[in-house]
């Protein structure tokens, strides 16, 4: 147990140093630093820090997200981190993963959130469709993801679904998203952005 705690503390201390890799570093150095972060137990890192690893980070995230050679948790985290790199390639990977025949619930949830965070209003139809999914956890994720989309139509979508939804978990997610929508609407223009 003590050995695990020491390893965790070492990894957490190394995160800031890894995020300071310079743009001119070779791709292999960027790939190694990114993979270390992807494998870390609980990395608290966001888009700007990942960007400092170097210019190849978005492409590397796509590679790790789609590589069968990587462990499932690394692929899942890479998919989630694509939310900070809204490119046509990241969008294609997230949508392809989301629509894959064998996609599991955790992966679906991650993709829904990443798509909403990265691409906002253009993902409204996709997120709305997943409010009708047979799995309650997927519907819950879609409800939360809709709260990340800054679009006046979101309120109507959530309210309409709230009236039909039977599961309390999903109802709670819808209510939480409606609160976030209300907070955005009440904030002065340009002062409120979704949490990333």
Query: Residues 165-191: pLDDT tens digits?
Result: 999 999 999 999 999 999 998 888 655
Domain match, 70 and 109 both: no
Question: What's the CATH number where 180 sits?
Answer: 1.25.10.10
Residue 131 lies in a domain: yes
- 0.85 cut: is pTM over it? no
Out of 85, 100, 132, a domain closes at 85
Domain match, 1 and 43 both: yes
pLDDT at position 123 is 97
Residue 61 lies in a domain: yes
Domain match, 97 and 175 both: yes
Residue 195 lies in a domain: no
What's the rounded Cα separation, in Å, for the pair 80 and 107?
9
pLDDT at position 196 is 41
pLDDT at position 26 is 87
Domain match, 95 and 73 both: no
Domain match, 66 and 48 both: yes
How far apart, in Å, are the Cα atoms of 154 and each of 12, 105, 138, 183? 37, 23, 18, 13
| Structural domains of the chain, count | 2
Residue 193 lies in a domain: no
Domain match, 5 and 71 both: yes
Out of 57, 85, 113, a domain closes at 85
DSSP result, 84-134:
G---HHHHHHHHHHHT-TT--HHHHHHHHHHHHHHHGGGGHHHHHHHTT-S
How does DSSP classify residue 188? P
Domain match, 104 and 136 both: yes
pLDDT at position 18 is 45
Domain match, 178 and 109 both: yes
Residue 194 lies in a domain: no
* pLDDT tens profile 148-157: 999 999 999 9
Domain match, 56 and 122 both: no
Domain match, 81 and 96 both: no
Residue 196 lies in a domain: no
Out of 85, 107, 122, a domain closes at 85
pLDDT at position 192 is 54
State the residue range of the domain holding 128.
86-188
Are 107 and 97 spatial neighbours (Cβ–Cβ below 8 Å)? yes
**What angle do the packed helices 57-66 and 27-39 form, to 10 degrees?**
50
Domain match, 63 and 150 both: no
Spans of the chain, pLDDT less than 70: 1-25, 189-196
């Amino acid at each position: 147990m003590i050995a695990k705690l020491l390893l965790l503390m070492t990894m957490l201390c190394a995160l800031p140093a890894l995020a300071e890799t310079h743009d001119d570093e070779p791709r292999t150095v960027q790939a190694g630093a990114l993979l270390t972060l992807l494998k870390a137990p609980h990395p608290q890192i966001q888009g700007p820090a990942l960007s400092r690893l170097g210019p190849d980070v978005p492409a590397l995230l796509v590679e790790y997200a789609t590589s069968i050679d990587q462990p499932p948790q690394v692929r899942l985290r890479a998919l989630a981190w694509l939310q900070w790199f809204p490119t046509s390639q990241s969008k294609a990977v997230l949508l392809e993963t989301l629509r894959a025949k064998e996609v599991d619930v955790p992966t679906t949830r991650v993709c829904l959130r990443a798509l909403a965070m990265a691409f906002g209003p253009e993902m409204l139809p996709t997120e709305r469709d997943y409010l009708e999914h047979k799995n309650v956890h997927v519907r819950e994720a879609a409800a939360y993801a809709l709260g990340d989309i800054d679009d006046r139509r979101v309120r109507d979508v959530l309210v309409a679904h709230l009236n039909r939804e039977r599961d309390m978990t999903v109802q709670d997610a819808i209510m939480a998203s409606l609160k976030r929508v209300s907070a955005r609407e009440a904030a002065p223009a340009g002062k409120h952005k979704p949490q990333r």
